[in-house]
Amino acid sequence: MRRYALLLALFSVALTVKADGVRYNSNTILPDDTTTWTGRMQRQIDSLVNLPLFETTQLGLYVYDLTDGRDLVCVNHRQRMRPASCEKVVTSVSALHHLGPSYQFRTQMFVTGEVRDSVLWGDVCFVAGMDPLLAQGEVYQMARALREVGIDSLAGVITLDLSFKDQDDRGWGWCWDDDVAPLRPLLVDKHDRFTAELLADLRNLGIRGASLDRVMQGPCPPSARLFCEVTHTIDQVLDRMMKRSDNYYAESLFYQLAALSGRKRATRKEAVGYIDQLIRQVGLNPADYQIADGSGLSLYDYVSPELLVRLLQHAWQNEPIRAHLYPSLPIAGVDGTLEKRMRRTAAEGNVHAKTGTVDGIVSLSGYCTSPEGHVLVFSIINQGISRAAQGRNFQDRVCEALCGGELRMDN
């Protein structure tokens, strides 16, 4: 009996050592030999996830082989964690899925009435579309369009239709010191100066009228007809949103999803509804996550590495989405927020991924190609980090291992 108890105790210790020594979950297989790239890579990452850093911080890590269709590494991959700017992956994939890659951001000018004797006997209405690329020169072009048809006087009123989204200037769960342009649907170069720019342009073009003394807000009259518009493609927005991690651009795309509902003054809840549809489509439960905004600034955003990987997997397997998402991602050692990272390593020029950084959080989610030519999709979230450089250094070494580089254990 004593011998049986001793064997049980030894078996229990063996299980404990294995659980403490390997932080992978049960569906990750660690090959005993290191003759294959997969075995070497997994052993390298096993060494990394057992660094002292993770005695006081949290890690979520998921690597999936798109070529073979199997998990490679799973470390707390279903844990709810703050994604920082990897939330932009959720926004961009959802927008490309629902809006389509040919979607355009629009700022439109409508008119009523008719032109007689160089006077527009009617009203002018500008319909906002929360286009983050709307620039000062484009406001001038809209004003000039009136002059080009011979108008030098406005008999009616100028109205701004700002019903594209709700009136909240900040995202749900943003901090008071988050430095982001106000979430308004009619900014110029991300500043709230559309009215001032428009009136100055009209006067400089020689257009007069009592309406230039007072611009109103409200809906366009039902009889209004489209006169001209400024448009930008979703690719133009994605490029800055992903490469440079521009938060206003991300929120603008987020609210394009909300506006898809057709509701006036649409809120984040409408946008989340469309994101939840896609989460269900990739086989996960939206109730397991919380989508608070489109940029990842919010303290209330909670996703998981598994969700980010599943969305990136969906994007890769749908060519129309992949063709527009993939070029927008920063490239290690080449451009965007990864320009200075992973240089002179196997990951340089290989890793295409979205970065994320807020206080205490560093994240990285994207794609790379293994030495065997397999396309891998991965997501890494470091939470509770006191210095962002610690998380970035760890993530860079994981990526180097995925790309076939030699493991660095300098920290």
Check pLDDT > 70 for residue 218. yes
Considering only residues 2 and 405, tell me which one the structure prediction assigns the higher pLDDT. 405
- 399: nearest Cα among 353, 337, 361: 353
Buried/exposed 377-396: b ≥16 CB within 10 Å, e otherwise? bbbbbbbebeebebbbbbbb
Q: Which pLDDT band holds residue 173 (cuts at 50, 70, 90)?
A: very high
Structure tokens at 79: 């844990």
What tens digit of pLDDT does each residue of 89-137 get? 999 999 999 999 999 999 999 999 999 999 999 999 999 999 999 999 9
Check pLDDT > 50 for residue 5. no
Check pLDDT > 80 for residue 6. no
Report how far residue 275's alpha carbon sits from residue 257's, in angstroms, rounded to the nearest whole number.
Answer: 8
Report how far residue 90's alpha carbon sits from residue 294's, in angstroms, rounded to the nearest whole number.
Answer: 8
What tens digit of pLDDT does each residue of 37-93 get? 888 899 999 999 999 999 999 999 999 999 999 999 999 999 999 999 999 999 999
Report how far residue 285's alpha carbon sits from residue 12's, in angstroms, rounded to the nearest whole number.
Answer: 35
- pLDDT (average), residues 318-332: 98
Helices (H) and strands (E) in the chain, counts: 11, 13
**pLDDT, position 214:** 86
182 HSE (CA, 13 A, CB side):
12
Report how far residue 35's alpha carbon sits from residue 320's, in angstroms, rounded to the nearest whole number.
Answer: 38
Check pLDDT > 60 for residue 302. yes
- Where are the alpha helices (H) located in 160-228, listed in sequence order? 194-204
Q: Is 81 helix (H, G, I), strand (E, B) or coil?
A: strand
Report how far residue 338's alpha carbon sits from residue 244's, in angstroms, rounded to the nearest whole number.
Answer: 9
Hey, what domains does the chain have and what are their CATH numbers? 23-100+240-402 (3.40.710.10), 104-233 (3.50.80.20)
- 254: nearest Cα among 239, 236, 234: 234
Residue 228, Cβ density class (10 Å: 0-12 exposed, 13-18 middle, ≥19 buried)? middle
- Distance (Å) of CA 320 to CA 236, 249, 323, 377: 16, 21, 5, 18
What tens digit of pLDDT does each residue of 12-41 get? 333 333 333 334 443 444 455 567 888 889
Structure tokens at 226: 């489209």
- pLDDT (average), residues 271-297: 98
Check pLDDT > 50 for residue 4. no
Could you please report the per-residue DSSP string of 295-341?
A: SS--TT-BB-HHHHHHHHHHHHHSHHHHHHHGGGS-BTTTSGGGTTS
What tens digit of pLDDT does each residue of 139-152 get? 999 999 999 999 99
The overall average pLDDT reported for the chain is 91
**Phi, then psi, of 182 in degrees rounded to 5:** -60, 145
- 42: nearest Cα among 398, 378, 323: 398
Structure tokens at 200: 């100055």
What tens digit of pLDDT does each residue of 233-261 get? 999 999 999 999 999 999 999 999 999 99
**Phi, then psi, of 364 in degrees rounded to 5:** -155, 125
Could you please report the per-residue DSSP string of 230-260?
A: EEEEHHHHHHHHHHS--HHHHHHHHHHHHHT
Check pLDDT > 70 for residue 398. yes
Report how far residue 359's alpha carbon sits from residue 298's, in angstroms, rounded to the nearest whole number.
Answer: 11
**pLDDT, position 409:** 55
Considering only residues 305 and 28, tell me which one the structure prediction assigns the higher pLDDT. 305
Check pLDDT > 50 for residue 350. yes
Matching residue, tokens 């659980």: 19
Structure tokens at 242: 């992903």
HEC string of 330-383 equals: CECCCCHHHCCCCCCCCCCCCCEEEEEEECCEEEEEEEEECCCCCEEEEEEEEE
Structure tokens at 25: 């979950």
- Distance (Å) of CA 237 to CA 82, 103, 405: 24, 11, 34
Check pLDDT > 50 for residue 372. yes
Q: Is 70 helix (H, G, I), strand (E, B) or coil?
A: strand
Task: Centre a 10 Å sphere on the Cβ of residue 214 and count the other Cβ atoms it contains.
Answer: 10
